[in-house]
Chains A and B, each alone.
With several copies, the nearest count.
Chain A
Amino acid sequence: MYSEKVMDHFTNPRNVGEIADADGVGEMGNPQCGDIMRIYVDIEGDIIKDIKFKTFGCGAAVATSSIVTEMVKGKTITEALEVSNKTVAEALGGLPPLKMHCSNLAADALHAAIKDYFAKNIKE
């Protein structure tokens, strides 16, 4: 069902956790449909210095959350915004068709976190 890469990220997810007083927090999904991803970012300049996630969901949800943090940690915001749900799925060696549109929300959550960071910064 899942690629080895998915299983690896599910079994040993990278960057699990929360960042207290994170610069940005993004959440996608809802418990009704069985997936919630929350991504925390700390940003210095335009670099994503730290990123952590918490996910309630299936194997694909956990793995996409995990790999997206790995893909953008230390990268620029511009690079992070280029990451899409599609490139996340590709980085995992593909996802089962059903999971492509239901549990593949990690890039969206990441973008929401960045948006949150911008929103906070503009307010200040």
Chain B
Amino acid sequence: MRKIYLDHSATTPVDEEVAEIIRIYYTEKYGNPSSIHSFGREAKKALEEARLRVASLIGAKPEEIIFTSGGTEADNLAILGVAGAGQSKGGHLIISAIEHHAVLETAEYLAKMGYELTILPVNAEGIVELDSVGKALRPDTILVSVMHANNEVGAIQPIEEIGRIVREHGAVFHVDAVQTVGKIPVDVEKLGVDLLTMSAHKIYGPKGVGALYIRKGVRISSLLHGGSQEKKRRSGTENTPGIIGFGKACQLAAQRMTEEAEKLKKLRDMLLNGIVERIDCVKINGPLGDLRLPNNVNVSINFVEGESLLLSLDMLGIAASSGSACTSGSLDPSHVLLAMGLSHEVAHGSLRFSLGRQNTVEDIDHVLEHLPEIVERLRAMSPLYHQAAKKK
């Protein structure tokens, strides 16, 4: 069966070039970068080249990059690290309502430990409104964390403007840029951020590798104690092959970004428009145009449930994701969709297609050909649809 992968925001295939370089550092150039012999020095050198490549993609200096085991660890390190570096055990944190769980739950953990937490609302398009930031800031605010673009609905946030407000106040500004790095331009200077999270496996790099950008001068305490790797800020034998793969993936992303974004935007809009044209009672979630990630499509298909949609698509070889509770392991549907004001019922019927490098017009046509029949079949089975039809 033909398989169409449309879940690139969950994870991406590793680029063949990246995979090959990783293989070499696994089996041939396998030294521990802390070792002083030639194997170690070879690994160390490649590690530092990778750091440069990662830094370049976001306009940072290499010494401002710390490698981690992924976006989740980088988010945890940013938030727990700022809290841990503070003088007092307490203070005020601000995050947005649509943060990834890695930020949300870490902030909630600190709230349980005695920190105060303000959660910024978003508008119906999933965008943080600037005046809410100014209002939320307090003299004891130590950290503001707002993601660059949301992973579910693709809403790009006004980071530069928020950065300006936060900088004036003096709090540390953290941005989870897992979904934007490599997809749209990210420049830490322009954005005015202090800490920025990246993850390799969202940009055709390996899983289990990420990075935290830490602006020179920003103090954070470390999460992992032990060896003195990463200038004592992140202990543990470096995952050199993974990091080198991440570096390569960043390099490739830099080269391909503009062209790829153009292509993806066309496919994205084809799919968005196609769904709306072919299926009734559909709502597009998130903004349109340039405020939307080039690769994100998110719709709520009323009267049907997300997991059923996914399973049906999967049987046709189409891989997507949903904000349905059934796919999140919790009882509530996506906190992002709820924050945008969707009802539980509508949120349960949401569907995300996230496009990637390999996708083609044929892929989109295939989805558009089959999605309507799937929806029709599920709606025919749905007690809600019948009621709605009757009401009309």
Q: Which A residues are within 8 Å of any B CB, using their own CB?
A: 1-2, 7, 10-11, 13, 16, 18, 27, 31-38, 54-62, 98-99, 102-103
Contact = CB atoms under 8 A, between A and B. Distances in A.
A36 B326 contact: no
Interface stretch (B53-61, B244-252, B273-281, B377-385): B377-385
Given A98-B329, A102-B331, A33 B311 contact: no
A61 B305 CA distance: 10
Nearest to A61: B305
A27 B380 CA distance: 17
B389 to A, nearest CB: 12
B381 A58 contact: no
Nearest to A11: B315
B126 to A, nearest CB: 21
Nearest to A99: B326
A55 B381 contact: yes
B169 interface: no
Nearest to B37: A1
Nearest to A29: B383
Interface of B: 36, 41, 44, 303-308, 311, 315, 324-326, 329, 331, 333, 343-345, 348, 380-386
A98 B382 CA distance: 22
Nearest to A102: B331
Contacts of B331: 33, 102
Given A37-B383, A56-B305, 16 more contacts: A1-B36, A10-B308, A10-B311, A11-B315, A16-B380, A27-B383, A32-B345, A33-B325, A35-B305, A38-B383, A56-B304, A57-B308, A59-B307, A62-B381, A98-B329, A99-B326
B322 to A, nearest CB: 10
Contacts of A16: 380-381
B382 A56 contact: yes
B41 A13 contact: no
Contacts of B315: 11
B380 A34 contact: no
Which 9 residue pairs are nearest across A and B when measured between Cβ atoms?
Answer: A31-B345, A58-B307, A58-B326, A54-B383, A32-B344, A34-B348, A56-B382, A38-B383, A59-B311
B382 A34 contact: no
B345 A62 contact: no
Contacts of B41: 1
B123 to A, nearest CB: 23
19 contacts: A1-B36, A13-B381, A27-B383, A31-B343, A31-B345, A31-B348, A33-B344, A34-B326, A36-B383, A36-B384, A56-B381, A56-B382, A56-B385, A59-B311, A61-B305, A61-B308, A102-B325, A102-B331, A103-B326
Contacts of B382: 54-56
A54 B305 contact: no
